[in-house]
Amino acid sequence: MTALDEVKIGGLGASRLRVEDQRFVRGRGTYLDDIKLPGMLYMEIVRSPLAHARITRIDTSKAWQIPGVRLVLTGEMMAQRNLAWMPTLSYDTQAVLATDKVRFQGQEVVVVVADDPYIAKDGCDAVEIDYEPLPAIVNPEQSAAPGAPIIRDDKPGQTDNTCYRWEVGDREATERAFAEADVVSSLKLHYPRSHPSPIECCGAVADFDAGTGKLTVYMTTQAPHIVRAAVALIAELPEHQIRIVSPDIGGGFGNKVPVYPGYVHAILASILTGRPVKWIEDKTGNLISTGFGRDMYLDAQMALRRDGKILAVRMHADTDQGAFFADAQPSKFKVGLLHSAFACYDIGIGYITAQGHYTNKAPGGVAYRCSFRVTEAMFFQERMMQAAATDLGMDQAEFRRINLRRDVAFPARTPFGFLVDSGQYHKCLQVGLDAIGYDEFRREQAAAREKGRLLGIGISTMTEPLGAGNSREYDILGIKMFDSAELRVHLTGKAILRTGARTQGQGHETTWAQIVAHELGIPADDVVVEEGDTDTAPYGMGTYASRSTPVAGAAVSMAARKVRAKARKIAAHLLEVSEEDVEWELGRFYVRGAPERGASIQECAMAAYSNMPDGMEPGLEATAYYDPPNLTWPFACYIVTVEVDPETGVWDVLRVVAVDDCGVRINPMIVEGQIMGGLTEAYAMASMQFQTYDADGNMIGANYMDYLLPTAWETPGFELHEVVTPCPHHPIGAKGVGECAAVGGPAAFVNAVIDAIGDAGVRNIDMPLLPDRVWTALQTRQSVS
């Protein structure tokens, strides 16, 4: 009897083709807009054209007169039901429909429900609203200025535009370290507002059945159980009468974590009309009103010893929160995991302060491919590293070598309280430097410069805390951040697996089956994976923060191990030996000392329903809930080379090298796809993407002519490498990876451009590095924002 070949059965390490692509590439996916229920109505939203204004009159009478209009909802009608405002996941409140004022352009003011979407749009056009404009506040500076109009005058006791203040670290020790420093390096920058812009926009089909009292909502959410809890708590509907179904999702990228007003409108509209109601955003609606990412101003200093050792860091963040503090983030910290900055470096002392500001912009600092502000943290960290090395006159790679944590140092406590689990940072850096040919490039760069050509190289080394969370530091509405898996092995040895996570394209249907194959030896093709329906899935906290592999993936392993433990008892019974004499190899139990006498996992499955030992419950199923002991800490080294045209400021990417260590890779092909996707987004943010506003708060970039997405044409090629440091606390040694390249990548691109023009004395150019910004920096030899 030869042991099963794990890769052949699609276990760990198999680059198994994605099973979900069978339907996706054939156009057979069932996305929200594919759902059509009998008698369904359509909903459209009247949005505010102004960023800040008092509402003086709303007249919906003409809309009601249009044949086919079934319902027109105003803030006042919501208020009568105590639903005009809803709580946010960041413990603030958000208007569901505006009553008193509008506070950002695109805010929801009136909702029209009609027989078809065109009539609903006509209904929206017929609504008359008078506004009395107020001055708009579009950045933290204006927000904090004395005499600024108070945006949140709805909140009792709110006397200015401060949303929160937060601090972490040791202020006094940090001041002492700065006093002793040989060199103090400083940097200020803005991480611009950006948008996840998934291909499919947000939407819902709400279906309230007055006969049974059951509410079913199909919606594009990354976290169905959280929505169910929120609906139960906010709308006070009984939880067992609520079913949230998240169908195929056309990308999430963090955009589909928050609970948006549109979902609430659709639910209420269905309850009031007694019919199913569909709401789907258009692209502009998605870009202007749903959760943005970033929009943070950072100002920091680093205390350095002449020999390159970092003594301490000090940092202040001003975040532009928009009109409502609706960050969909589950940590107990106001600015998410901003304080994961510098976690990969051996720095003992630091102090971070942050202030959140209300502005007249859309709310919801969503973690756009980011575990809650780690993108800002890692971007700032790596830009600061470059500035500090430059100030010391030290080579970029050498400066990192001096400060990166050594392999023996793990687990390592950061000055802000995180425990970094494991890594091989120096090895990753070296693999990257060798791959790009660092020393050779530096020589080429010097030679090119003699001829007036500007070449540059940018390094970004970073670790990211992935896998929200552990229940000590995370919760959502008080619910702990565990996840779950339920595995049922049928009598023929085929299985169904359900988890509390929800894939939006990442490939869970493929990879979770691989974990089962690894634990049980059941071929991955024999395991079907289902996620996203709260009526059937075990309770879980959803997919974001690259948490699925660290948390739900771990639960899959644990559930499979419970199944294996039961199967072992069945095997002992079948083999007529005691359990202690039964050994396991992939897919099969056998008698110790007599390996030819065995029972396969499939034979055990059959026996679980037909020939179990006396007194044993029939069946072969298990559920596991997993509360991770820590976050997983992948590491990555991204290196980019560029050439900048001194005449035009246009820059071209020459090469991109990525070395990712995400622990054990379940499916190497999928991991590579994740890294390439993240690098593409990193390139987009560095080179072309930002959401900007004019002085009146009009959003510039509410369409894809202005908000740019890179196509295959612009996107550079990526050279990928791997290092594997198994995660010490994850059952199969895996770490999260989905976000790493989007988090660590932007700094590598920007560092490369700054490196190319650094001789001109330019210290910073704020993203995106549009050619005119680069050109202006070259002309004025100054930082550009």
Residues interacting with ligand PCD, by CB under 6 A? Answer: 222, 251-254, 257, 367-370, 504-508, 511, 543-549, 662-667, 670-671, 674, 677, 734-739
Helices (H), 138-250: 140-144, 171-180, 224-234
Closest CA to 170 of 48, 432, 351: 351
Closest distance to ligand PCD from the beta carbon of 466 (Å): 7
Task: Kindly report the number of other CB atoms within 10 A of residue 703's CB atom.
Answer: 12
Start-to-end Cα distance in the chain: 68
**Active-site residue identified among 486, 739, 740, 763:** 739
Nearer to ligand PCD by C-beta: 117 or 250? 250
Closest distance to ligand PCD from the beta carbon of 586 (Å): 19
Residue partners of 487: CB distance under 8 A and separation at least 6: 495, 496, 497, 516, 556, 559, 560, 563, 621, 622, 623
Whether the bond into 469 is cis, omega within 30 of 0: yes
Task: Kindly report the number of other CB atoms within 10 A of residue 166's CB atom.
Answer: 16
The dihedral formed by the CA atoms of 569, 570, 572 and 574, expressed in degrees to the nearest 10: 170
Nearer to ligand PCD by C-beta: 123 or 738? 738
**Active-site residue identified among 152, 314, 369, 665:** 369
Q: How many residues are listed for the chain in this entry?
A: 785
Closest distance to ligand PCD from the beta carbon of 365 (Å): 11
**Active-site residue identified among 94, 142, 222, 691:** 222
Nearer to ligand PCD by C-beta: 369 or 566? 369
Nearer to ligand PCD by C-beta: 726 or 771? 726
Q: Is 739 a catalytic residue?
A: yes
Closest CA to 638 of 669, 670, 688, 681: 681
Coil, strand or helix at 669 = helix
Residue of closest CB approach to ligand PCD: 254
Closest distance to ligand PCD from the beta carbon of 771 (Å): 29
Q: Is 440 a catalytic residue?
A: no
Nearer to ligand PCD by C-beta: 301 or 543? 543
Nearer to ligand PCD by C-beta: 422 or 548? 548
Q: Is 369 a catalytic residue?
A: yes
Q: Is 662 a catalytic residue?
A: no
Residue for token pair 């879980």: 540
**Tokens standing for 258?**
């928050």
Nearer to ligand PCD by C-beta: 527 or 572? 527
DSSP string, 401-437: HHHBPPGGG-SEE-TTS-EE----HHHHHHHHHHHHT
CA distance 778 to 784: 10
Nearer to ligand PCD by C-beta: 75 or 744? 744
Closest distance to ligand PCD from the beta carbon of 738 (Å): 3
Q: Angle 554-575/601-610 helices, nearest 10 degrees?
A: 70
CA distance 31 to 247: 6
At position 86, the amino acid (one-letter code) is M
Question: Residue by residue, what is the 3-state secondary structure of 563-628?
Answer: HHHHHHHHHHHHHCCCHHHEEEECCEEEECCEEEEEEEHHHHHHHHHHCCCCCCCCCCEEEEEECC
CA distance 785 to 766: 5
Closest distance to ligand PCD from the beta carbon of 540 (Å): 11
Nearer to ligand PCD by C-beta: 322 or 663? 663
Whether the bond into 726 is cis, omega within 30 of 0: no
**Tokens standing for 625?**
């809930």
CA distance 494 to 483: 23
Closest distance to ligand PCD from the beta carbon of 522 (Å): 18
Active-site positions? 222, 369-370, 739
